[in-house]
């Protein structure tokens, strides 16, 4: 996990020099702590075209849906196992656990 966070931080610093957290008011969940750079939220980095994604969320799933999601993720990882000529290494971590973290 430490290595993943180091790689993420390095790519974020390439995007902007200054980062911080801000409290965002939300009607349903109350308030959320959001990561941002000097221009505000970093949705352009994490949700944009850059090959960087950092997301922690809670999904409400039945046991059947959770098993299906796991199977689909395993299949998706399998599609990209063979090294691509001229490609770069990308680290990917996915955790699926019962419980609410958001």
Measured in degrees and rounded to the nearest 5, phi and psi for residue 37 equal -110, -165
Residues of the chain with pLDDT under 50: none
Whether 101 is in a domain gets the answer no
Whether 95 is in a domain gets the answer no
- For the chain, the domain total comes to 1
Domain with 24 in it? 2-79
Whether 7 is in a domain gets the answer yes
Measured in degrees and rounded to the nearest 5, phi and psi for residue 81 equal -70, -40
Whether 98 is in a domain gets the answer no
Q: In terms of Cα–Cα distance, which of 1, 84, 10, 85 is closest to 52?
A: 10
pLDDT, residue 102, reads 56
pLDDT, residue 56, reads 75
pLDDT, residue 18, reads 80
- Tokens representing 69 are 């999601």
pLDDT, residue 29, reads 67
What pTM did the predictor assign? Answer: 0.65
pLDDT, residue 35, reads 75
Strand partners, 36: 20, 41
Whether 14 is in a domain gets the answer yes
Measured in degrees and rounded to the nearest 5, phi and psi for residue 87 equal -80, 165
């Amino acid at each position: 996990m430490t290595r993943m966070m180091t790689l993420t931080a390095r790519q974020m610093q390439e995007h902007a020099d200054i980062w911080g957290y801000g409290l965002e008011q939300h009607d349903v969940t109350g308030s959320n702590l959001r990561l941002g750079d000097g221009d505000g939220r970093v949705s352009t980095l994490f949700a944009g075209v850059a090959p960087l994604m950092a997301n922690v969320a809670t999904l409400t799933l039945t046991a059947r849906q959770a098993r299906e999601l796991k199977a689909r993720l395993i299949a998706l990882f399998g599609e990209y196992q063979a090294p691509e000529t001229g490609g770069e290494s990308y680290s990917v971590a996915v955790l699926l656990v019962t419980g609410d973290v958001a």
